[in-house]
Amino acid sequence: RRAKRRARERKVGRGGSTMADKWSDQIRACGLFFISIVVLMIIPLVYHCFVFLTALPLWETNPASCVILLLCFHLLFFLLLMSYWKTIFTDAGGVPYELDEAWISELNLANRFGLEAEVSERVSEVSETSPLTVQSAERKLDGRQRYCRKCRKFKPDRAHHCKYCGRCVLKMDHHCPWVNNCIGFRNYKFFMLFCSYATMTSFYVALTLFTGFVNLLVQRRTIEFGWVEFEYLVVFGLMAAVSVVLTGFTGFHFMLLLKNMSTIEHVEKRDPTKKDQVNPFDLGRERNWGQIFGDNPWLWFIPVGETRGDGVHWETNEAVQANAQDV
């Protein structure tokens, strides 16, 4: 009976993993589809409507307005595309191999039998910044360190397993189908800039088109509805909807950023058992901001640079932790 039960469990396990793999492949295909929509349809449509149908026709009557509109639009547009590119092609960050269960077991055996010379120098000379010296602030209810059974790795603080990417991601926020990538430790700044510039660009385009509509109504011109007018309405409606949605979405993420909290951690805090727990990673708004955008204000709003830290070791607010332990 035990043999039959184990055979059933293995069969279910294989079937479950197959279904999970198929689901992950479908999500990745949807991500590529969303990127294709943005790159091949939305961006060219908005660019054509704003540049060729709105700004350039003003050159004969008001060249100054034409130049200002084009300069502002192309500045936002360039930063938007650059942030989008960096968000897509920057790896969110994976858990280092030193936290692999088999590797740690090999290291423990080497240390136990005095065979440190048989392992690599990188591991034999363990430093304070090595992933092997992780002091976790997040642990299971029984006090054990968090462990991923799928990756077979010990998870550092704030790391979570992404079923779509098939691995654990450092400081995972969420998996975004619009960029076909996980948003995590290494690309969170680029994601925030992408959302910010997408919001500003859509709002700028919608406001400019709306101003043009108002001028037509004030001047009481006769409007003949054709393909040009149809494109105006489509782009205006699209940009207005995107600006409204992204304003709330981007504002929500800036709120999390200033609290040094990811979306997953925000959702977990809704759990009644964790509702009263304080956030040990909240270092204050200024330091939380610097942790993502860096210390150089000139680079805050440019999609370049790397996030401070290694994604494994996290600075915690010792005062907050002390208060939590007292409670």
| Active site (catalytic) residues | 176
CA 46-36-70 angle, to 5 degrees, is 25
Q: How many CA atoms lie within 13 A of 82 on its CB side?
A: 13
CA 158-160-163 angle, to 5 degrees, is 165
φ and ψ of 267, to 5 deg: -70, -40
Token readout for 282 is: 């909240």
Pick from 285, 307, 293, 296: nearest CA to 158: 307
Which neighbouring-strand residues pair with 182? 175
Amino acid at 64: A
CA 258 to chain centre: 15
Measured distance CA(261)–CA(158) in Å, rounded: 9
> Per residue in 256-275, is it b (16+ CB within 10 Å) or e — as a string?
bbeebbbeebbebeeeeeee
DSSP-derived 3-state class of residue 119: coil
Nearby residues of 212 by Cβ (< 8 Å), 6 or more positions away: 54, 232
**Number of residues that make up the chain:** 327
Token readout for 107 is: 């290291």
